[in-house]
Amino acid sequence: MKAHLIPSSIACAIAFCASLTAAAELPAESPAVPSATVAPDLQLADHDDAYLYRLPYGDGVSYRVIQSYGSRLSHIGTEFYTVDFGMPIGTPVHAAREGIVVAIEDSQERACWSTGCGRYANHVAIRHSDGTIGEYFHLQKEGVLVRVGDYVERGQAVALSGNTGYTNVPHLHFGVYTMDADSRQHSIDIRFATDDGVHGKLRAGRLYSNKLRAGAN
């Protein structure tokens, strides 16, 4: 299935965009796993820029991007190179890249839209072979399907999507993180192999599905 661009007026009808004006004065809040949790991995990270990630959900389905790189609502600073996919609560979340699970949280059930709500985000963090960390946020309560120390394959189901933490609509927040020279965690620019070709910045309002042909990575 190819990506489809829809008019912004229609895209905003998905509720998340409808909140942009009301939320414009709220500070962006990073959902990233605390650096202390993954610092030993991030300090050694040297991202493999040739790697093509899969979309963080199953094959044969597509979900709409509701925020992409640099979105003015909350994808700034640490979260600049992250993507939000609108999806119903309980949707299987799949590993965009293989690696080892280094952090999980799925005891939370609260969703709110104010400063401090980020700590309620259920999540999974997976360390890749180059030391970067793939992080999956806003997961369903008791929706994590893996344990710390597990090795997960590319495309393996690792969690169920939800609506926890700093959020006002069910969605999956995904990003890949490393650490800068000042030991600050930040997201990095990555590329996805989709059924519509290779994309860096996914476009808000579009539906994307995974590349089904062999050799996607």
Q: Is the pTM higher than 0.95?
A: no
Biggest CA–CA distance in the chain, Å, is 45
Q: Rounded CA gap, 128 and 98, in Å?
A: 6
- Six-digit token pair at 118? 């980020």
Q: Is residue 1 part of a domain?
A: no
The identity of residue 74, as a single letter, is S
Q: Is residue 129 part of a domain?
A: yes
Q: Cβ distance 195 to 211 under 8 Å?
A: yes
Q: Is residue 2 part of a domain?
A: no
Q: Is residue 181 part of a domain?
A: yes
DSSP category for residue 5: -
Q: Is residue 214 part of a domain?
A: no
To the nearest 10°, the Cα dihedral for 147, 150, 153, 157? -10
Q: Is residue 3 part of a domain?
A: no
Q: Is residue 216 part of a domain?
A: no
Would you write out the chain's pLDDT as a tens digit for each of its 217 residues?
444 343 333 333 334 444 433 333 344 555 666 555 555 556 668 899 999 999 999 999 999 999 888 777 777 778 888 999 999 999 999 999 999 999 999 999 998 888 888 888 899 999 999 999 999 999 999 999 999 999 999 999 999 999 998 888 999 999 999 987 667 788 999 999 999 999 999 999 999 999 986 544 5
What pLDDT does 198 receive?
A: 96
Q: Rounded CA gap, 108 and 111, in Å?
A: 9
Domain of 109, in residue numbers: 8-209
- Number of domains observed in the structure of the chain: 1
Residue 15 belongs to a domain with what CATH number? 2.70.70.10
Q: Is residue 217 part of a domain?
A: no
